[in-house]
Amino acid sequence: MPAKVRKTEAEWRRDLTLEQFRVLREKGTERPWSGEYDHVFEPGVYRCAGCGAELFRSDAKYDSGCGWPAFYEPTSEDALETEEDRSLFMRRTEVLCASCEGHLGHVFPDGPHPTGLRYCINSAALKLEEE
Ligand code: FE
């Protein structure tokens, strides 16, 4: 398992932008089609904007049309944690960074081959390291 990153709320506020803090630490959702990476398909590695952990690779990114960056799989099984989310009168599966427990987005069972999963992730939770 990846090393755990722990910070106080004040430290997270200091280290993150307002939008990053709202998404990662307060489980916010950016407006659809507004995020930096929605339509970016450059080759590279997507890291957690909170702690820098490697989360997704551009190979697994696809255009789902949903308005947020979508991936069909994470870089590794233990990069992410999931939790049941019953907010907003829906039952969804929340996706968190396994290292810093930052909120990333949700995963849905309507993705493409080969996993059938759609990791719907906020751009604000990601940092692309281009290759
Ligand atoms: Fe993280």
Known active-site residue 97: no
Q: Which residue range is the domain that position 101 belongs to?
A: 9-130
- The domain total for the chain is 1
pTM above the 0.85 mark? Answer: yes
The ranges of the chain with pLDDT < 50 are none
**Ligand 1 centroid, distance to 104 Cα (angstroms):** 9
Provide the pLDDT for residue 2. 67
- pLDDT at residue 28 in the model: 97
pLDDT score at 3: 78
Classify residue 74 as left (phi > 0), alpha (psi -120 to 50) or beta. beta
Q: Is residue 47 part of a domain?
A: yes
Q: Is residue 15 part of a domain?
A: yes
- Edge-first strand order for the sheet with 118-121 is 61-62, 70-71, 118-121, 103-108, 92-97, 80-85
Q: What is the pLDDT of residue 76?
A: 96
Assess if residue 56 is contained within a domain.
yes
Residue 3 within any structural domain of the chain = no
The pocket of ion ligand 1, defined by CB under 5 A, consists of 48, 50-51, 53, 97, 99-100, 102
Q: Residue 87: which of 66, 100, 103 has the closest Cα?
A: 103
| 102 Cα to the center of ligand 1, angstroms | 5
Alpha carbon distance 125, 62 (integer Å): 17
Q: What is the CATH number of the domain that holds 101?
A: 2.170.150.20
